[in-house]
Structure 1
Amino acid sequence: MLILAIRFGDDWKKCLELPPRDTRMRTSDVTSTKGNEFEDYCLKRELLMGIFEMGWEKPSPVQEESIPIALSGRDILARAKNGTGKSGAYLIPLLERIDLKKDHIQAIVMVPTRELALQMSQISIQLSKHLGGVKVMATTGGTNLRDDIMRLDETVHVVIATPGRILDLIKKGVAKMDKAQLIVMDEADKLLSQDFVVLIEDIISFMPKDRQILLYSATFPISVQKFMSKHLKKPYEINLMEELTLKGITQYYAYVTERQKVHCLNTLFSRLQINQSIIFCNSTQRVELLAKKITQLGYSCFYIHAKMMQEYRNRVFHDFRNGLCRNLVCTDLFTRGIDIQAVNVVINFDFPKNAETYLHRIGRSGRFGHLGLAINLITSEDRYNLKNIEDQLVTDIKPIPSSIDKSLYVAEFHSRRTGVHEPTF
């Protein structure tokens, strides 16, 4: 690991290995800021180096609101859309506050899925690479427990975990949480649903009474409110959700019978300019059948669902993220926080039953203020759900036109048309 030695007076920014600038147009979800800079927060220079090398130039609205409050030690309840920079909003203050002189677990990030845990640990490692020895560990179910026990025998400062596995390690006396001052819950609505809330309550009982809790989510059902009133002390509330759907995502529906769906999908593939697409089905069986059909039609396609072996899931996720395949068919396993910048089209092959699932699914396109397209295949049985979801999200899902304007979802077309060649921040 390269740690740059920088003497006082050096122009340290000249030493950075910056990624290519992202010149795509961005929507106001990430650009309507107060104009702050990351340097305004008195962060360690080594952490700033990691931030800029991630390609993060200026804080997004949720980062502007969160970072100074989190650094002050106060609890936060933040409601912001997926794809607007929530992970940076909590990882930056978390890493800033790690004390390398202490060799115990100082912070824990809870997430609902294995894929999200791996993604968050990857971002944490990249952000902290110049900090000189922050030890980050991801631990999730479906992996070898003995490996985790051996790793916790050495120094770990930050744990990024799914609830079941970390609770198992805590109860075995291996993961000691008695000095962990910070717990973050990303996708808090899912973590505090019936599936997980008992585990979360249990985990918190092993932490110090004066710990700090940061909750981040796009939706806040009653379960979150109950948890907040029980565990958070005068939380600072952030609400960046005047409207629920991302501004850059254009939404259409195509009215079809069940038998016409594959033909309709084939037509979409031939007419759309897809960079990468995620296609959602409502069951694991349908995921596998559809992936097989798409491959038979001659298109590159991966699939992923919760019943697959973890090792295979990891490989599919890694390869799709690295652009080895254009289309990914999946279940709702993939709707939580998965951030793949190249995805510009989401297709609901099966329409979801509720607004929350719809919101998380279509949020896989249009990441970090970029443009995206959401296309929904609607059968007669889905009509009621379509109307319901439009009403709940106060959004307009239009009938699909015979040709779709590429400037709505293809970055270079928008740039040419508007003359935007520089990012808005």
Structure 2
Amino acid sequence: MKINFQDVTDTKGIEFEDFCLKRDLLMGIFEKGWEKPSPIQEASIAIALSGQDILARAKNGTGKTGAYCIPCIEKIDPELKRIQALIIVPTRELALQTSQICVELSKHLKFKVMVTTGGTDLRDDILRLNGVVHLVVATPGRILDLMDKGVADMSHCITLILDEADKLLSQDFQGILDRVIKFLPPERQIMLYSATFPLTVATFMQRHMKNPYEINLMEELTLLGVTQFYAYVQEKQKVHCLNTLFRKLQINQSIIFCNSTQRVELLAKKITEIGYSCYYIHSRMAQNHRNRVFHDFRQGNCRNLVCSDLLTRGIDIQAVNVVINFDFPRNAETYLHRIGRSGRFGHLGIAINLITYEDRFTLRRIEAELRTHIAPIPKSVDPKLYVAEHQLVDDSVEAENTMANATASVAAAASASASASSSKPVTVA
């Protein structure tokens, strides 16, 4: 069950069929359960199909990935057995998720999607690139390495998409994208998507983009479906407070953020000790281990995931209805990306912040910067704010309607085409 809020439903009534997409792509869209375009999809798909550069700001969880994947897939010619599009994202987990969405959308089309990230065997990537690849989803360092080695031929790659562009243009990846773009043909389309855009974006835009079409759907930075609370606690009482939340809240799945990898592991151990199932994930883990944890959590094999800010960007797990900042983030950008892990694509969720005395000024500063309200947590949190069975739309009915509409829509498109537990207080040190 879900409620869809304005950030995904405030549309102009456009249908996916109105974009004149390939019939096989429409089938993939509807089979994925995407019934109507979200506002960011309405605003950008047609522009992307025209070939114009795009600079798009939209909230996390409102359909950004679909906004660029759909036109990207539509423009690829399966008969041309070359790389024609490159999607770059900042993290390995986001690369895996994005490539999976591309595979699902293009399941009825005859072209090959490849994902390549650091931390995996470079030889495997080289072997795959010796075969046919039409679309590459990559992290910056790995794709540049493959280009430098002359393995990834980008001479026919006319579409470059940068998701979570603020992170890609940060100091962490400084200079890499400039080098990547040198391998692309002069006549290419560049599309940037993110929830926040620092000054580095303006510099990049002036250097590499041609009269980009600007889309700004960020009247309010925080997701409408996410209710935010804070609780003042002493550091040594945080685990006890977390245990209380576990007992009182109706958690479908939760993500719990810490500010360091060491605290991630310590907290995960404490949560297990007090009797709750828990996974953890952070950047210092081996890539195959991270992939397995992310996959198992996404499959619902565990209710709670403790992580560092590795998992703040773009990761879409719609079953997550509770986000807890065990450690309060240091800036508004990180806070925004963290709480965006709940309330994905119009679903409801809550974000709970455990605030120490030292955090109080940061809390108010972030609240002011995001023009949002973070309320004191009440003694009892209304389940209507975050629990599926208390929300308005019955998913079983919605699923039936979606499939019925999908069948009718694809048939219509084809026809048109033919005619044209409690614990003692403990400290995580």
* TM-score, with structure 2 as normaliser: 0.92
1:421 Cα deviation from its structure 2 partner: 7.1
Q: Distance in 2 between matches of 1:352 and 1:276?
A: 21
Instruction: Give the Cα–Cα distance (whole angstroms) in 1 for the partners of residues 397 and 262 of structure 2.
Output: 44
In the other structure, the counterpart of 2:267 is 290
Structure-1 separation of matches of 2:397 and 2:176? 48
1:264 aligned onto 2:245: no
* Residues 1:46 and 2:1 are matched in the alignment: no
Per the TM alignment, residue 118 of structure 1 is displaced from its structure 2 partner at its CA by 0.5
1:179 pairs with 2:156: yes
Question: Tell me, what secondary structure is at the counterpart of 1:415?
Answer: coil
Shift of 1:100: 1.1
Q: Secondary structure at the match of 1:195?
A: helix
Q: Return the offset for 1:178.
A: 1.7
Describe the superposition over 1:155-205 as per-residue Cα deviations: whole angstroms up to 9, x where unpaired: 100000000000000000000112100000000000011111300010001
RMSD of aligned alpha carbons: 1.6
Asked if 1:91 is matched to 2:93, the reply is no
Aligned counterparts of 2:200 and 2:247: Cα–Cα separation in 1:
44
CA contact (8 A) 2:2 2:346 kept: no
Q: How does 1:143-292 map to 2 (within 5 A)?
A: 143-292=120-269
1:400 matched to 2:384? The reply is: no
Secondary structure of the residue aligned to 2:392 is helix
Once residues 368 and 206 of structure 2 are traced to their aligned partners in structure 1, the CA distance between those partners, rounded to angstroms, is 29
**How far off is 1:414 after superposition?**
2.6
Aligned equivalents of 1:88, 1:192: Cα separation in 2: 22
Moved over 4 A (4+): 420-425
SS in structure 1 at match of 2:66: helix
What corresponds to 2:39 in structure 1? Answer: 61
Q: What SS does structure 2 have at the residue aligned with 1:183?
A: strand
Match of residue 108 from structure 1 = 86
Q: Which amino acid aligns with 1:160?
A: V
Q: Identity over the aligned pairs, expressed in percent?
A: 70
- In the TM superposition, 1:115-154 aligns within 5 A as 115-131=93-109, 133-154=110-131
Equivalent residues, number: 401
Distance in 2 separating the partners of 1:422 and 1:320? 25
Paired with 1:106 and 1:230, the residues of 2 have a C-alpha distance of 22
TM-fit CA distance, 1:400: 0.6
| Structure 2, unaligned runs of 5 or more | 403-429
2:214 partner SS: strand
Q: In the alignment, is the contact (CA less than 8 A) between 2:68 and 2:161 conserved in 1?
A: yes
Q: Secondary structure at the match of 2:391?
A: helix
Task: Give the letter for the 2:81 counterpart.
Answer: D
Q: Which runs of structure 2 are paired with 1:252-401 in the superposition (5 Å)?
A: 252-401=229-378
1:24–1:422 Cα contact (<8 Å) kept: no
Deviation at 1:250, TM superposition (A): 0.4
Question: Distance between the aligned counterparts of 1:229 and 1:260, measured in 2?
Answer: 50
The answer for the alignment partner of 2:59 in structure 1 is 81
